[in-house]
Structure 1
Amino acid sequence: MADGVLELDPLPSSTGRRMEQVITAVRAAIDHGRMQPGVKYSVYQLADVLGVSRTPVREALLRLEEAGLVKFEARQGFRIVLPQPQEIAEIFAVRLALELPAVRKAATLADPALAQALAEQQRLMHSAAAADDESSFAHHDLGLHDLILAAAGNNCSRAIVKSLRETTRLLGASTAEATRTLHDIDREHDPIITAILGRDPDGAEAAMRAHLVNTGKLLVQQAVRGDHDRADVVWKTIVN
């Protein structure tokens, strides 16, 4: 049923959600070359090597299929599909369209409650960066952007951005350590927060734009394996 050999470590005993653990294991296997794009694997095979039942494996693969990282085939087979650079550029084009007006509105409406919430998220991000905890940092990063979108009062935009960020997470699209450190990413958020708290819509928009464009371009460059000319063409075609 499967063409590829899987040599993965069994999942450790845990009370956590097995589906999320399987997603993490598959992402790590792809990153370390233990699962190859285009090679056919099976649900049964993956469940056996991870030492878990097939149910959380199927659930994890369905989530990864929704994100575009997995393609199912007949008889419980699946293949890994690497993200296309244009998909990543499209995600950031939508994020720019939604998050720039949101951050302007948040800066216009900034109140003590929002200021306190943003300061707490900033503190949590600083702590996660100092501990080099990428998982916690990503969680608090998402929380910060969600606070800004919530303050703008558009729940539809908020849900769309959350979904898009989940897609990039499942794709494994992260610039942390590959092209910049958690401290680098953390520092990009500081001028956004400063501008919101200073009730400076123009400054908030400019800082958010710089952050999103920088992140999006780096992720597109990673997707094209460092081909900067192709990355520029993809970005300018879709975003500019």
Structure 2
Amino acid sequence: METAPIAGLQPLTKRERLREMVADALRAAVISGEMKPGAVYSAPTLGTMFGISATPVREAMLDLVREGMVEALPNKGYRVRVVPDEELDDVTHVRLLLEPPTVRDIVPAVPAGDFPRLRELADAIVEAVRDDDLVAYIHADRIFHLELLGYAGNKQLSAIVSELRSRTRLLGLTPLLESGRLESSAHEHHELLDLIEARDAAGAEALMVRHIGHVRGKWARGTADDAPPGPAAGKDGSP
């Protein structure tokens, strides 16, 4: 049931925000692939790696269960979840239905004075890639896109997209980071802001379609294929 020690898990000595610290470390291990898909990990063993009790590990694991990263196995531990291709296709399809048209609609609603702050959020995504920090990348990417969707004024839409994005945490990010291709995806956030600032609604919508396509192209497979296949694409391969 147990696997080899995980290099990224180091003993923790700070008591403050212990659950959050453990959860962040576990997310990093899952995203980087150090915690293997399908492998089962027990809270006591992970707690030993951290140098803490099993309780905060269990609490942190429950956060990851809610995020769809792991699944709880009664009396065994926690298994890193393998997301089926069909589920990835379905999630991508729904995101394509929601996010590109919403971005198109909010283009005239973004005040000119907000762009410096939005640029800072986009910078955080690029900086995370340059720091080789996938957890920070995913966090910054999530904040940026939810901030944009917030201009639509639809809290239900934002909540749905937030949940969908948490389910598309994919292992393909690691080879993309190592190859340097993830940085080009990171820079697309600035390209999107360029289009919004130019009030190019159609261009912003088209870029969002391509950007979400990475979920089933670059991100999911670790390749350069940007077109979302399956239900997210039409018969001719277009979204």
Normalising by the smaller structure, the TM-score range is 0.7 to 0.9
Distance 1:144 1:96 in 2: 17
Residues in 1 aligned to 2:110 and 2:40: alpha-carbon distance in whole angstroms: 52
Cα distance 1:101–1:14, how it changes in 2: closer, same or farther (>3 A)?
A: same
For 2:158, the aligned partner's letter is: R
Question: Which amino acid letter does the alignment assign opposite residue 2 of structure 2?
Answer: G
Distance in 2 between the 1:128 and 1:36 partners? 23
Residues 71-125 of structure 1 show CA distances to partners (whole Å, capped at 9, x for unaligned) of 3233253333322222222222222211112111121223223333323323444
- Per the alignment, in what secondary structure is the counterpart of residue 71 of structure 1? strand
**Residue type matched to 2:5 in 1?**
E
Cα offsets for 1:159-193 (capped at 9, x unmatched): 12222223334x65636415544431222223211
Match of 1:237 among 230, 233, 237: 230
Deviations 1:28-55 (A, max 9, x none): 5557776554454432232233222222
Q: 1:145, CA displacement in angstroms?
A: 1.0
Aligned to 1:194: 194
Once residues 13 and 26 of structure 1 are traced to their aligned partners in structure 2, the CA distance between those partners, rounded to angstroms, is 16
CA distance in 1 between counterparts of 2:140 and 2:12 reads 26
CA deviation profile, 1:130-176 (whole Å, cap 9, x unmatched): 5444444433322221221011222111112222223334x656364
The SS at the match of 1:72 is strand
* Contact 1:88/1:219, CA 8 A, preserved across alignment: no
- SS in structure 2 opposite 1:177? helix
What's the TM-score once normalised by structure 2's chain length? 0.77
For 1:122-201, list aligned pairs within 5 A: 122-169=122-169, 174=173, 176-178=176-178, 180-201=180-201
CA–CA separation in structure 2 for the residues paired with 1:119 and 1:68: 30
TM-score, scaled to structure 1: 0.77
| CA shift in 2, pair 1:221/1:199, >3 Å | same
Alignment check: 8 A CA contact 1:92 1:212 kept: yes
- Output the aligned Cα RMSD: 3.2
Secondary structure of 1:168's partner?
A: coil
| Percent of aligned positions that are identical | 31
Structure 2: which 5+ runs fail to align? Answer: 234-239
Q: Partners in 1 of 2:192 and 2:200 — Cα distance?
A: 10
1:75-90 to 2 correspondences below 5 Å: 75-90=75-90
Structure 1 residue ranges without an equivalent (≥5) = none
For the structure 1 residues 22 and 126, does the alpha-carbon distance in structure 2 shift closer, same or farther, using more than 3 Å as the test? closer
Q: Could you tell me how far 1:196 is from its partner in structure 2?
A: 0.7
SS of corresponding position for 2:177: coil
**How many residue pairs get matched?**
229
Counterpart Cα distance in 2 of 1:32 and 1:112: 38
Partner of 2:105 in structure 1? 105
